[in-house]
Amino acid sequence: MFVHYVSSDSNMISLLSSRMNFWGYSTINFFSPMTRYSSAGTRNCGRDAINEFKLLVREAHKRGIEVFMDVVFNHTAEGNEKGPILSFRGLDNSVYYMVAPKGEFYNYSGCGNTFNCNHPVVRQFIVDCLRYWVLEMHVDGFRFDLASIMTRGSSLCDAANVFGSPMEGDLLTTGTPLGSPPLIDMISNDPVLRDVKLIAEAWDAGGLYQVGTFPHWCIWSEWNGKYRDVVRQFIKGTDGFSGAFAECLCGSPNLYQAGGRKPWNSINFVCAHDGFSLADLVTYTNKHNLANGENNNDGENHNNSWNCGQEGEFASIFVKKLRKRQMRNFFLCLMVSQFVQQETRRLEVCHCG
């Protein structure tokens, strides 16, 4: 779950309604829970919301349920170089963000800015934040959104760290992928954080894709995006995917065995909180994000989906039966695959959109 205090993105409020962007992922305060998720709201300066979150975690633990936080350390709510001054920009713009020589922001996150994760000041901030949520709030683990950004070097980083290959005398450009990222090293060897569960979304919006190769210290798990893509292709009947599908069922040893990891380091999923839902996968061959006024430019175009013969929710009885069968096939694949399955509520209830 995502609970950091986030911007309500007033610039995204519809001019035709009072609805607000509820998606989150534009963090303002990394140490505070989002008060509108709490029945206490902002009462007692937010302290009641903190206590309510602790109660939630305690009650979950009583029932044998672990609590994972979805954390976003790849960007903040301050937008690009023309964005508002809300926090870090006012403290030290060039320390907290990846800034190009002329002052524009690097945008590996797709959200206007990129948090300068491997700067010494920033990585200490991130580690302190994670430790707070473990020691004070008692969460059991973290899923890191666009975690590949956390492997990118800050400005003028030592080139000897690129993929473990020394290049003496050279300096790296901002954002170069590092073989042993200082931040990942700090997290992996921290006496508190090394004992919680760590899950990386091992890619970013800048094209860095590290599924199977994310720096892991043998303790990091990964969102297995290759599992998602292969299973979608196989279930819809695309030729040439039977071998890759068999690997997926066995915990993707082709990705994780050589690096000293195990099947449980693969987080298998077909659908997630963003992108096509399970019902969408069997209802639409193409995305139709028209209602939000973005002219269908937002969202992923490469979904490996199949509409079972008719595009859209209104279809013949035969097509609807086929769609239900395909959804059961997806669910079965997820259940019989080693090792860790990730489901979403809308997977279970066949929610579209």
Q: Which residues are catalytic?
A: 145, 201
Contacts of 5 (CB under 8 A, 6+ apart): 27, 28, 29, 30, 32, 33, 34, 35
- For residues 30, 143, 161, 128, the Cα torsion angle rounded to the nearest 10 degrees is 30
φ and ψ of 347, to 5 deg: -65, -40
Cis ω on the peptide bond leading into residue 115 (within 30° of 0)? no
Candidates 270, 144, 149, 299; CA nearest to 209 is 149
Tokens of 152: 């990118």
Query: And the tokens for 128?
Result: 């302190």
- Helix, strand, or coil (residue 66): coil
Q: Exposure string (b/e) for 89-101, b if CB count within 10 Å is 16 or more?
A: beeebebbbbbee
- Reading the block at residue 109, the tokens are 């996150």
d(CA 237, CA 255): 23
Structure tokens at 245: 């599908």
Q: Which of 31, 29, 44, 119 is nearest to 77 (CA)?
A: 29
The residue length of the chain stands at 353
- Cα separation, 245 vs 217, in Å, equals 27
Kindly write down the DSSP assignment for every residue of 124-153, as one continuous string.
HHHHHHHHHHHHTT---EEEETTGGGGGB-
Q: Report CA torsion sign: 326, 332, 338, 341.
A: positive
